[in-house]
Amino acid sequence: MSATAKKSSQARKTLQLVLIAVAALVLAGNFIIKSLGDDVAPAEGAEGSALSALDSLTVREAATKDGYDREADFGSAWQDTDDNGCDTRNDMLQRDLEDIKFSTGDACEVASGTLNDPYTGETIAFERGENSGDVQIDHVVALMNAWTTGAADWDKEKRVAIANDPLNLVASDGPANMGKGAKDASEWLPDNQAYRCEYVARQIAVKTEYGLWVTPAEHDAMEDVLTSCPAEPLPLPTP
């Protein structure tokens, strides 16, 4: 092959490589633009989704915390509101833990088990005793938050119900639960991002079930989370 032919062949190969590279960049650019568009575009929640339910909640500023008293207003922890012979904490441990063992001679009291913690994504070994607090039962809608978004006007029976409702309860990492405190979604979300959609959806389900409102900041934070998962279903109340 002559030198001229070799140069021509090399030029064609170089051009082909350039065209391939340009095509790849175009495709990548389209993908990035589409992804960004998906992230920023408002999501329309389908019927039955948490996002759709969020749109139906009343939005108003929080009421005062004055008068709030956890035990006086929501009852002592934990009660047996479903009359199954077990208190709510042990009911939730039985529901959320794996490899459960019961205390000797007690069909209710959970002695040990394993929690796949939704808030941190970590696996926690639970053992009743001095380290029982490693696993706590979180009120997904904190009781003080409930108080300032409608529960202050309820009777005691309804407040006790929300405090012991499995829909509003999740076994979780103790320190994470303590860190959350009474914060709403605008102030606190689980470190485990894979659980945030489900977490916010459960808060919306509780607020829908009990007729609570959301603050403007709380609404916006919930909407921001659900924009990435607009089809996240609204959890159903426990039968």
Do both 33 and 142 map to the same domain? Answer: no
Do both 31 and 69 map to the same domain? Answer: no
pLDDT of the residue at 225: 98
List Cα–Cα distances, 227 to 38, 144, 146, 220, in angstroms: 9, 27, 24, 10
Do both 52 and 36 map to the same domain? Answer: no
pLDDT of the residue at 44: 57
Within-domain flag for 95: no
Average pLDDT per block of 10 residues along the chain, 239 residues long: 47 47 40 40 68 97 97 95 95 98 96 98 97 97 98 97 98 98 98 98 98 98 97 90
Instruction: Domain count for the chain, please give it.
Output: 2
List Cα–Cα distances, 141 to 3, 135, 227, in angstroms: 78, 18, 20
Within-domain flag for 99: no
Do both 27 and 50 map to the same domain? Answer: no
Whole-structure pTM value: 0.80
pLDDT of the residue at 6: 45
Residues 6+ apart with CB under 8 A from 126: 93, 97, 110, 112, 113, 114, 115, 132, 134, 135
CA distance 115 to 135: 8
Within-domain flag for 158: yes
Do both 55 and 1 map to the same domain? Answer: no
Do both 52 and 34 map to the same domain? Answer: no
pLDDT of the residue at 24: 43
- Boundaries of domain holding 75: 46-84+116-123+136-227
